């Protein structure tokens, strides 16, 4: 394992931001990971997966450990279910396609989400009516300080909307090395609850969709709304959809009756940040090389040479305007480094 100095992270973050790691190393196995952690105990560490959920606003003054553990396998199965284990460095979408290819159900609604498997539990990725927690069984992780393996079972992970223990109590203490999913082999729970999916299937005259049909529909929807990071730097949704109190919601809804919303509980409502940002006039706007995507206002983009700071400034401008206009605070979903 070679530790590189002053290493450019431009190809390791989907925003395509130029920033340097003081030191950088690729690890390909749990043994390599443990050995790097052990040999560099006093040095600050930064754990890097697919780089699809971060905005680099500065160089990283640490040892960046790129988790590149590969492999996926079937751990066990019965007549109805299969337990699939994937190593952390596997590309998420490739895992999804691999499961669909074997007619294993559960991940299809999350097709084409960028990033690697090992980071999916951190923010409990989700799309089109499904979240990772719905099929998650457990994950293995290395404790950075103690160098011991720990298994996190679903109940311990405190999963919520784009939330988990790995953003809170366990933050910066573990490196997730593999994840286990429980998927269906038959009686798949085809989930077409999301309006866009229903519309896409109807467009193609599909009335009894297969896993592959759902995946294809999701891919088509994502490709029509979300920019491909290979073509236009971005990190998916930059903000979370805010959850506000019903009373707060009612005041805004009275003023803007066309606003879309989802009831979360008796007292809380989730409102689409993309709608708020579009109403505030930001959709499709460009400020130098930083901008707001023309088809999905939740996505900030890098047209080429934007710095992380420039994108951060645009995000702050959006937050302030939304607060002034609607009295709602929208919170970043990506990790700002």
| Nearer Cβ to ligand EPU (226/252) | 226
Among 35, 59, 137, 272, binds ligand EPU (CB under 6 A): 272
Specify the stretch interacting with ligand EPU by CB under 6 A; choose among 69-77, 170-178, 247-255, 290-298.
290-298
Q: Is 260 in the site for ligand EPU (CB under 6 A)?
A: yes
d(CA 244, CA 264): 9
Give which of 46, 49, 70, 68 is closest to 58, Cα–Cα.
46
Angle (CA) 102-106-110 rounded to 5° is: 105
Per DSSP, 166 falls in state: G
Which member of 52, 178, 215, 237 is catalytic?
237
Cα distance between residue 106 and residue 87, in whole Å: 18
Q: What's the rounded Cα separation, in Å, for the pair 11 and 51?
A: 9
Q: Which of 124, 241, 302, 315 binds ligand EPU (CB under 6 A)?
A: 241
Minimum CB separation of residue 281 from ligand EPU in Å reads 12
Among 231, 317, 316, 303, residue whose Cα is nearest residue 17: 303
Interface size with ligand EPU, residues (CB under 6 A): 19
Residue 181 binding ligand EPU, by CB under 6 A = no
**CB of 198 vs ligand EPU, minimal distance in Å:** 12
Minimum CB distance to ligand EPU smaller for 24 or for 128: 128
CA nearest neighbour of 295 among 225, 230, 231, 197: 225
Site string for ligand EPU, 192-221 (x = CB under 6 A): ----x-------------------------
Distance between CA 310 and CA 315 in Å, rounded?
9
237, 302, 307, 315: residue in contact with ligand EPU (rule CB under 6 A): 237
Stretch that binds ligand EPU, among 144-152, 242-250, 273-281, 311-319 (CB under 6 A): 273-281
Shortest Å distance, C-beta 237 to ligand EPU: 3
Instruction: Please identify, using beta-carbon distances, which residue of 127 and 306 lies nearer to ligand EPU.
Output: 127
- Regarding 236 and contact with ligand EPU (CB under 6 A), the answer is yes
- Is residue 288 involved in binding ligand EPU (CB under 6 A)? no
Question: Quick one: how far is CA 26 from the chain centroid?
Answer: 21
What are the b/e assignments for 76-85, b being 16+ CB within 10 Å?
A: eeeeebbbbb
162 is catalytic: yes
Nearest to 125 by CA among 157, 173, 161: 161
Candidates 162, 178, 215, 315; catalytic one: 162
Interface with ligand EPU in residues 96-115 (CB under 6 A) = none
Task: List the one residue from 25, 88, 100, 127 that touches ligand EPU (CB under 6 A).
Answer: 127
User: Tokens for 244?
Assistant: 């506000």
Determine the interface stretch with ligand EPU among 73-81, 149-157, 270-278, 323-331 (rule: CB under 6 A).
270-278
The arrangement of strands across the sheet holding 286-287 comes to 233-237, 299-302, 290-292, 286-287
Using rule CB under 6 A, residue 333 touches ligand EPU: yes
The answer to whether residue 297 forms part of the interface with ligand EPU (CB under 6 A) is yes
DSSP states along 32-90: HHHHHHHHTTTS-EEEESS--SEE--S-EEEEEEEE----EEEEEE-SSEEEEEEETTS
23 in active site = no
Task: Look up tokens 């645009």; give the residue.
Answer: 314
Q: Which residues bind ligand EPU (CB under 6 A)?
A: 127-128, 196, 225-226, 236-237, 240-241, 260, 272, 274-275, 278, 283, 296-298, 333
Give catalytic residue positions.
Answer: 162, 237, 333
């Amino acid at each position: 394992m070679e530790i590189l100095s002053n290493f450019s992270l431009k190809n390791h973050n989907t925003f395509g931001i130029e920033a340097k790691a003081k030191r950088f190393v690729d690890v390909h196995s749990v043994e390599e990971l443990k050995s790097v952690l052990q040999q560099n105990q006093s040095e600050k560490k930064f754990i890097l997966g697919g780089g699809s959920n971060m905005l680099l606003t500065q160089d990283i003054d640490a040892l960046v450990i790129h988790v590149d553990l590969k492999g996926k396998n079937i751990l066990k199965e019965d007549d109805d279910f299969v337990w699939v284990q994937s190593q952390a460095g596997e590309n998420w979408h490739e895992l999804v396609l691999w499961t669909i290819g074997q007619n294993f159900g559960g991940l299809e609604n999350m097709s084409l989400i960028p990033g690697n498997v090992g980071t999916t539990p951190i923010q409990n990725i989700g799309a089109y009516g499904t979240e990772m927690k719905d099929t998650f069984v457990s994950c293995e992780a290395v404790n950075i300080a103690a160098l011991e393996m720990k298994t996190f079972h679903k109940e311990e992970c405190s999963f919520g909307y784009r939330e988990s223990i790995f953003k809170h109590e366990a933050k910066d203490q573990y490196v997730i090395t593999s994840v286990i999913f429980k998927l269906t082999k038959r009686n798949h729970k085809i989930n077409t609850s999301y309006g866009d999916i229903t519309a896409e299937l109807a467009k193609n005259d599909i009335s009894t969709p297969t896993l592959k049909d759902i995946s294809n529909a999701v891919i088509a929807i994502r490709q029509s709304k979300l920019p491909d990071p290979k073509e236009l730097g971005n990190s998916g949704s930059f903000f979370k959809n805010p959850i506000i109190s019903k009373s707060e919601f009612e005041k805004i809804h009275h003023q803007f009756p066309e606003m879309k919303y989802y009831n979360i509980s008796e007292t809380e409502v989730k409102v689409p940040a993309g709608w708020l940002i579009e109403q505030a006039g930001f959709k499709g706007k460009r400020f130098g090389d930083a901008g707001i995507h023309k088809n999905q206002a939740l996505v900030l983009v890098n047209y080429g040479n934007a710095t992380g700071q420039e994108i951060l400034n645009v995000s702050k401008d959006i937050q302030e305007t939304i607060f002034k206009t609607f009295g709602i605070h929208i919170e970043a979903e990506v990790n700002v480094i």
